[in-house]
Chains A and B, each alone.
Chain A
Amino acid sequence: MIARAFALLWICLATAAGAQGFAGLGTDADGFALPSADSALTFPADHGAHPDFRIEWWYLTANLRGDDGQDYGVQWTLFRSALSPEAGSGWQTPQIWMGHAAVTSASTHRFAQKLARGGIGQAGVTTAPFDAFIDDWQMRSTAAEGDPLDALTLSARGVDFAYALSLQAQGPLVLQGDQGYSVKSPTGEASYYYSQPFYDVTGTLTLPEGDVTVTGQAWLDREWSSQPLANDQQGWDWLSLHFDDGSKLMGFGLRSSTGAHFTSATWITPTGQTTAYGDGALTLDPLETVEVEGRKVPVRWRVTLPERDLKIDTEPLNPQSWMGTMFPYWEGPIRFSGTHSGKGYLEMTGYE
């Protein structure tokens, strides 16, 4: 997943040198490691944290259907942000963690946020066994063999919701961009980026109305970098799509201050074969804007990828899927139809 929610922490934690760019992401990295196109990713080591990079996340979204016949969306995210490129320990550790969780239905959007610093055991990611946690929120591996991310349990809760899901991967890990090196601007800013888009999900949502048993699909993104946005980029619109035939599409557009979209896309076959598409192959056009929390947000999009004969219109499950967290953004489940149909997730940032 591209650059999503990138700077949520940045806004409050990074040393913002300039006012350009969404959340000050356009600053130069200092002292932090930079992604390079030549270094290959290694697993399971790269499932863990990379404290020498400025920012990193474990980002999971799920499209679910309940036994009550309703559609639901679930989000679970753990962000890591470093004040300086060292792991540290104790209270003075420079690693700050943030968790976001949400449950979306057609009529409600419930979310929660957690903040913690590393070094004291309140939040972090371990690799053996794989366990990403902040307070009582957890993404833990249950895989007996193979990659640790093949099987996970996932839990989180807020004031008015809780969920416990188990996830089983039906396909391989997918490296985005060039073998996991994902370029984010014409001037070459980039990140490391891989995904596991093939989860089948079962589990329970606990809501004020009662428990709901759910099943569905989920998509996990892993990404880390030190300088993911160019100075003139203001926000992004990002999509993860599950086609009914089992194919997947990841696509994003980074909006620059000149109004142009820098787009990128990855087509994923049901067996995990990928085709990457560079800037301009994918087009994103807003169809309808609604007012969300006092601002205009384009919640319906026309997405085209001519090279795949793709032309679809997206429809949000709940147009008010607003994450009113410390740094707010729109994140919610969608349906789409047109040349292809299916479900997915949409994220939009930088709409002030």
Chain B
Amino acid sequence: MNAVAFQALWSHWRRHKVQLATLVLGLALATALWSGVQAINAEARKSYDRAAGVLGQDQLDRLEAPGGVTLSQYIALRRAGWDISPVVEGRLSGDDLRLLGVDPLSAPPQPALTALAGDSAALATFLGDGFLLVAPETAARLQGSDLPPRRIAADVPPGTAITDIGTALRLLRTDRLSHLLIRRQQAMGLTPLDQITDLKRVTPTDQSSLAQLTDSFHLNLTAFGLLSFAVGLFIVQSAIGLAFEQRRAAFRTLRALGISLRRLMALLAVELGVIALVSGAAGILLGYIIAAALLPGVAGTLRGLYGAEVTGTLSFDPLWALSALGIALLGAAAAGAQALWRVARMPLLAPAQPRAWAMASGRMIRMQTGAAIALLLLSGLLALWGDSLMAGFACLAALLIGAALALPVLLLVLLRLAGRFTRGPLSEWLVADARQQVPALSLALMALLLALAANVGVGTMVGSFRATFVGWLDQRLASELYITTRTPAEAEAIRTYLTPRTDAVLPIWSVAITLRGAPAQVYGVADDPTYRDHWPLLQAQPDAWDRLAQGDGVLINEQMARRDELSLGDPLTLSEGWQLPVVGVYSDYGNPQAQLIAGTDALATHYPDQLVLRFAVRADAAQVPALITDLTACFDLPDDALRNQAEIKALSLDIFDQTFLVSGALNVLTLGVAGFAMLTSLLTLSSLRLPQVAPVWALGVAPRQIALAELARTALLATLTWALAVPVGLALAWVLLAVVNVQAFGWRLPMQLFPGGWLWLGLWALVAALLASAWPVWRLVTLPGGQLLRVFANDR
């Protein structure tokens, strides 16, 4: 019996293939975007774990000293019985490689070194001549480099090479160890560490972990994914709703033939489940493709924003696929619940005539409006008093959902206004009909509103960010030439060479410190007009630069000021016995960490061992090319040792643009999905619209004119939706810039407006709406006349 009944139900889809395709495609799209974003997030998290998991740096306490740990300090602790392992970390700027030197004989077990465990010959070579363990993509990048030979180890994070500590010290030209890892399990009866060493024991804080830093970014992606999922579900809901309405007669007949309501519901649920599984499978494939296509961009973003290395290739995780199927089922259930509920409440003898199900009542609109007002109020309250990233996103969510729910009533008001200005019966009909269509199209229009608002909002944020960033770069990159040297001797030689030939040679050097439990970088800055005139200060005491030069003050970046709630004049302890007041706050975009600027002399007094290897050179811009040629010739410098200002700016902007590539791509996808939602809604409506169109036709309006009117109506609705989306998008941008960014990154950006962009977006919305309505209109007006006449047929 089940099979027979199921077949009867299923026959509907065989006759309505487009409807079925809509349903499957909608659900697949929703699943794809959501699970695609999940896949990206998972891949990134895996990369972070890999990075953190190397050497258990994420878990083990370490011993550190400013300026590094000496070999004798290490050996003394080993001879005292402490099970510790040395690590040396550094960057090979020539190869843009993070080098991690470890001692495999004492290192804690770690996935990256498993390659050595079973292979005696490999370990012998590792300790002996030495080689680098690198991720496959790093190996590809390093092809042809004159570094020691590379071997592939999948567990090494990209951009990092792990090698024996001896090899690393040699490559980094140092004899200092970066830190010592303390194994958890130690022999019994050891002398406590603080009695036998001056080294400082540091417990890793979650604060500094990449995962924490990048949380806001992933939250962003997740929000986008959720938005796309919601938009996709609009499609699914309308398709399911229509199918159920059209089958009311079939339901009634089946029930009259003795199929219980419970069984009917079960059959429908099974049917929905089958469709969801098929769609989910398609969604997984699509999602994987989307994720794989977006991942390089995401990797670029994460590298640009946080310096986090994320692999550019996606691996397939069966668990992920399973959860994607789950979300498809969940989505179908959410979208189908209303339809099932209506079937459950349908009386056995209900009229079988399909009712215009989508024609929602005025009561519905009133309820939506009430909810919209409440949500918008909530959003406002959160914007004013919210104090966390979650509050920021909740504020965004409330704003978007509120705006979407308010859309129908606002459109009705606007259309009523437009109605006052119409002349001629056709345009009157056009507007009147548009008003009547609003409830039916409201879900699709809401989707369009969300997509457009997200576009305006994200566009405004990125645009504001970029404009601010460009201005900031111009100020901050005041020097004409930047030099990176390899050794102190070379640094000194170049400095001596340049001093008589240029206006100024300014050292660039910094010390990594731990401030209030979080890592921070202190830069030493010489007293020079380059900084006084150009460095962008947000707030400063009048004599800030003088006090800095005298070693009586310190500048801090905006994110640190916000995070630690520091204001001008507050004392700050940089290291033991070194306390300075904050004399200024500067903007420092793109840097997730706390940063400080101290006078170079003062810093040198407290950290005498620090090497100064980089310089900024002030010179006549016209002479810079000649200077570069001379320097390269005299000192045999590698290509990347010299960078002129223009190059760095171009590079920075390049990284910046990379950073928001993903947002852009997701924006386009969301808009595409919204367009598809329009298409399905209009298709659904087109069959219900015959009674609306037939009388107009019968009264002597040519089909071509009707088609134009239909297109114009969709265009009108899309345009009005766009007009409402712009303010919503601006509100969204404001929340992003003033609430979310401050919470996520610690900097606030001035908001700038880009009306040109809105116009383009409006055009795109129009194009999307017209494309979406083209087919339904075509179907409507190419109906044979008899089809329209049948509307009036007497014997239905």
Q: Do chains A and B touch in the complex (CB under 8 A)?
A: yes
A residues with a Cβ closer than 8 A to B are 10-16, 24, 83-84, 90-92, 94, 96, 112, 115-117, 120-122, 133, 135-136, 157-162, 206, 208
Q: Is the CB of B127 within 8 A of A83?
A: yes
Q: Is the CB of B121 within 8 A of A116?
A: no
- A116 contact from B71, B72, B78, B128, Cβ within 8 A: B78
The interface-forming segment of B184-192, B211-219, B715-723 is B184-192
Please indicate the chain A residues that have their CB under 8 angstroms from the CB of B189 in the complex: 157, 162, 206
Compute how far the CA of A157 lies from the CA of B189 in the bound complex, rounded to whole angstroms: 9
- Name the distance in Å between B173's Cβ and chain A's nearest Cβ: 14
Task: List B83-112 residues whose CB lies under 8 Å from chain A.
Answer: 103, 105-106
Cβ of B359 within 8 Å of any chain A Cβ, yes or no, is: no
Q: Is the CB of A15 within 8 A of B120?
A: yes
Cβ of B79 within 8 Å of any chain A Cβ, yes or no, is: yes
- Name the distance in Å between A251's Cβ and chain B's nearest Cβ: 30
Q: Is the CB of A13 within 8 A of B120?
A: yes
- B81 contact from A90, A121, A135, A161, Cβ within 8 A: A135
Total of A-B residue pairs, C-beta within 8 Å: 77
Q: Is the CB of B188 within 8 A of A122?
A: no
Q: Is the CB of B80 within 8 A of A92?
A: no
Q: Is the CB of B79 within 8 A of A136?
A: yes
Q: Jot down 5 A-B pairs with beta carbons below 8 A, ordered by A.
A: A12-B123, A15-B120, A90-B166, A91-B166, A91-B169
Compute how far the CA of A57 lies from the CA of B72 in the bound complex, rounded to whole angstroms: 26
Please indicate the chain A residues that have their CB under 8 angstroms from the CB of B127 in the complex: 83, 94, 96, 117
Compute how far the CA of A133 lies from the CA of B81 in the bound complex, rounded to whole angstroms: 11
Compute how far the CA of A128 lies from the CA of B166 in the bound complex, rounded to whole angstroms: 29
User: In the complex, what residue of chain B is closest to A208 when comparing beta carbons?
Assistant: B188
Please indicate the chain A residues that have their CB under 8 angstroms from the CB of B759 in the complex: none
Q: Is the CB of B106 within 8 A of A115?
A: yes
Please indicate the chain B residues that have their CB under 8 angstroms from the CB of A96 in the complex: 105, 127
Secondary structure class of chain A's binding surface, majority of residues: loop
Q: Is the CB of A122 within 8 A of B78?
A: yes
B residues with a Cβ closer than 8 A to A are 71-72, 75, 78-81, 103, 105-106, 117, 120-121, 123-124, 127-128, 164-166, 169-170, 185-189
Compute how far the CA of A84 lies from the CA of B355 in the bound complex, rounded to whole angstroms: 90
- Name the distance in Å between B491's Cβ and chain A's nearest Cβ: 26
- A84 contact from B123, B128, B164, B187, Cβ within 8 A: B128
- Name the distance in Å between A127's Cβ and chain B's nearest Cβ: 19
Compute how far the CA of A12 lies from the CA of B116 in the bound complex, rounded to whole angstroms: 9
Q: Which of B75, B164, B188, B189 has the most CB of A within 10 A?
A: B188
Residues A12 and B79 in contact in the complex (CB < 8 Å), given A116-B106, A206-B189: no
User: In the complex, what residue of chain B is closest to A135 when comparing beta carbons?
Assistant: B78
Residues A15 and B166 in contact in the complex (CB < 8 Å), given A94-B128, A112-B187, A136-B79: no
Compute how far the CA of A172 lies from the CA of B669 in the bound complex, rounded to whole angstroms: 87
User: In the complex, what residue of chain B is closest to A10 when comparing beta carbons?
Assistant: B120
User: In the complex, what residue of chain B is closest to A94 when comparing beta carbons?
Assistant: B128
Please indicate the chain A residues that have their CB under 8 angstroms from the CB of B185 in the complex: 159
Q: Which of B72, B123, B187 has the most CB of A within 10 A?
A: B187
- A16 contact from B120, B166, B170, B186, Cβ within 8 A: B120
Please indicate the chain B residues that have their CB under 8 angstroms from the CB of A94 in the complex: 127-128
Q: Is the CB of A136 within 8 A of B123?
A: no
Please indicate the chain A residues that have their CB under 8 angstroms from the CB of B103 in the complex: 117
Residues A158 and B105 in contact in the complex (CB < 8 Å), given A24-B120, A120-B71: no
User: In the complex, what residue of chain B is closest to A326 when comparing beta carbons?
Assistant: B117
Q: Is the CB of A161 within 8 A of B106?
A: no
Compute how far the CA of A289 lies from the CA of B660 in the bound complex, rounded to whole angstroms: 68
Compute how far the CA of A253 lies from the CA of B186 in the bound complex, rounded to whole angstroms: 38
- Name the distance in Å between B391's Cβ and chain A's nearest Cβ: 48
Residues A121 and B75 in contact in the complex (CB < 8 Å), given A16-B120, A83-B127, A157-B81: yes
Please indicate the chain A residues that have their CB under 8 angstroms from the CB of B72 in the complex: 121
Please indicate the chain B residues that have their CB under 8 angstroms from the CB of A136 in the complex: 78-81, 187
- Name the distance in Å between A9's Cβ and chain B's nearest Cβ: 9
5 interchain residue pairs of minimum CB distance: A91-B166, A136-B81, A115-B105, A157-B187, A92-B166
Q: Is the CB of B120 within 8 A of A116?
A: no
Compute how far the CA of A332 lies from the CA of B787 in the bound complex, rounded to whole angstroms: 99
Please indicate the chain B residues that have their CB under 8 angstroms from the CB of A159 in the complex: 185-188
- Name the distance in Å between A132's Cβ and chain B's nearest Cβ: 13
Please indicate the chain A residues that have their CB under 8 angstroms from the CB of B187 in the complex: 112, 136, 157-159, 162
Q: Which of A135, A158, A206, A208 has the most CB of B within 10 A?
A: A135
Please indicate the chain B residues that have their CB under 8 angstroms from the CB of A10 in the complex: 120
Q: Is the CB of A11 within 8 A of B188?
A: no
Please indicate the chain A residues that have their CB under 8 angstroms from the CB of B75 in the complex: 120-122
Compute how far the CA of A120 lies from the CA of B71 in the bound complex, rounded to whole angstroms: 8
Q: Is the CB of A83 within 8 A of B128?
A: yes
Compute how far the CA of A14 lies from the CA of B169 in the bound complex, rounded to whole angstroms: 24
User: In the complex, what residue of chain A is closest to B103 when comparing beta carbons?
Assistant: A117
- Name the distance in Å between A116's Cβ and chain B's nearest Cβ: 6
User: In the complex, what residue of chain B is closest to A160 when comparing beta carbons?
Assistant: B188
Compute how far the CA of A136 lies from the CA of B79 in the bound complex, rounded to whole angstroms: 5
Q: Is the CB of B188 within 8 A of A206?
A: yes
Q: Is the CB of A122 within 8 A of B121?
A: no
Q: Which of A13, A91, A94, A136 has the most CB of B within 10 A?
A: A91
User: In the complex, what residue of chain B is closest to A9 when comparing beta carbons?
Assistant: B120
Compute how far the CA of A157 lies from the CA of B81 in the bound complex, rounded to whole angstroms: 8
Q: Which of A11, A24, A92, A121 has the most CB of B within 10 A?
A: A92
User: In the complex, what residue of chain B is closest to A157 when comparing beta carbons?
Assistant: B187
Q: Which of A96, A121, A208 has the most CB of B within 10 A?
A: A121
Please indicate the chain B residues that have their CB under 8 angstroms from the CB of A83 in the complex: 124, 127-128
Compute how far the CA of A61 lies from the CA of B434 in the bound complex, rounded to whole angstroms: 97
Compute how far the CA of A122 lies from the CA of B186 in the bound complex, rounded to whole angstroms: 17
Please indicate the chain B residues that have their CB under 8 angstroms from the CB of A120 in the complex: 71, 75
Please indicate the chain A residues that have their CB under 8 angstroms from the CB of B124 in the complex: 13-15, 83
Beyond the given A94-B127, A116-B106, please list 12 additional residue pairs across the A-B interface where CB-CB is below 8 A: A12-B123, A15-B124, A83-B128, A84-B128, A90-B166, A91-B165, A116-B78, A117-B105, A121-B71, A121-B75, A135-B79, A208-B188
Please indicate the chain A residues that have their CB under 8 angstroms from the CB of B188 in the complex: 157-162, 206, 208
Q: Which of A136, A157, A158 has the most CB of B within 10 A?
A: A136
User: In the complex, what residue of chain A is closest to B119 when comparing beta carbons?
Assistant: A12
Q: Is the CB of A14 within 8 A of B186?
A: no
Please indicate the chain B residues that have their CB under 8 angstroms from the CB of A158 in the complex: 187-188
Please indicate the chain B residues that have their CB under 8 angstroms from the CB of A160 in the complex: 188
Please indicate the chain A residues that have their CB under 8 angstroms from the CB of B78 in the complex: 116, 122, 135-136
Compute how far the CA of A208 lies from the CA of B165 in the bound complex, rounded to whole angstroms: 36
Residues A122 and B128 in contact in the complex (CB < 8 Å), given A117-B105, A157-B189, A158-B187: no
- Name the distance in Å between B72's Cβ and chain A's nearest Cβ: 8
Compute how far the CA of A90 lies from the CA of B121 in the bound complex, rounded to whole angstroms: 21
Please indicate the chain A residues that have their CB under 8 angstroms from the CB of B164 in the complex: 91
User: In the complex, what residue of chain B is closest to A133 when comparing beta carbons?
Assistant: B79
